[in-house]
Amino acid sequence: MNTPRLLARWDALRDHLAFDLGGGPRPWKAAWVINLQKGGTLFFVLGLMALYDNWSVTAWTYAALHGSYGLVWLAKDRVFPDPNWERRVTFGGAVMLWLGALGLYWIAPVIVVTQRVDAPPALLGGATLLYALGVTIMVGADAQKFFTLQVKRGLITTGFFARVRHPNYLGEMMLYASFALLARHWAPWVVLAWVWGSVFLPNMLRKERSMARYPEWAAYVERSGFLLPKLGR
């Protein structure tokens, strides 16, 4: 199997669906579409809670975690935006971004609120701990990458990247896993498996192919993990 060619074809299809579907005008940046969902999550969850008169500890915890992540994302986008999301999208692309990924993230809060999930205290605490670590790793790694590359282009092998080659993806996976844990349902995990497999993994593999051009790459791979840290080296 020609993995690079397969990934290139998948990337081309995914980019067409997310940015170019249907053709025509490109009135929005992808970042604006993403920010609408991220920033609107807190209000969406609170609206669900009001609609279903569910003010439980689990619902409030979910609103606080997922809602605060949306606000953190908006702050991150303001201070160190991801250039990948600066591309403009067609109307069809914006719809596909919502249907293919962004809107699916709201399945978890719908379950939490409408099914009146009652998570035990240990699960609430564990999810909060996982979220805090995940958002710290994700934002910290993105900040390090953004500001380091402003000064010097090249392979980043220190800080958050010292033992893990993709800490930003690791952090995002951790924080979204905390949301799925609170839902106590299989559906959010299916959504995450879809996003991680169709978006995160191809992005990481593409980044690995790009970084392999640096002479220090082989040594870096020896002492770092793809997604989890290598210890004791």
pLDDT per position as a tens digit, 50-97:
999 999 999 999 999 999 999 999 999 999 999 889 999 999 999 999
More confident residue, 210 or 64: 64
Is 233 part of any domain? Answer: no
Given a cut of 90, whether residue 11 has pLDDT beyond it is no
What is the mean predicted confidence (pLDDT) over 14-39?
A: 91
- Please check whether residue 86 is in contact with residue 31, taking contact to mean a CB–CB distance below 8 angstroms: yes
Is 36 part of any domain? Answer: yes
pLDDT of residue 232: 63
Is 24 part of any domain? Answer: yes
Give strand pairing partners of 29.
88
Domain that holds residue 176: 3-223
pLDDT of residue 13: 87
Angle at 160 between CA 74 and CA 136, to 5 degrees: 40
Is 76 part of any domain? Answer: yes
pLDDT of residue 130: 98
Angle at 103 between CA 98 and CA 105, to 5 degrees: 135
Given a cut of 90, whether residue 3 has pLDDT beyond it is no
Number of domains, the chain? 1
Q: Which two tokens stand for residue 57?
A: 């500890």
pLDDT of residue 17: 86
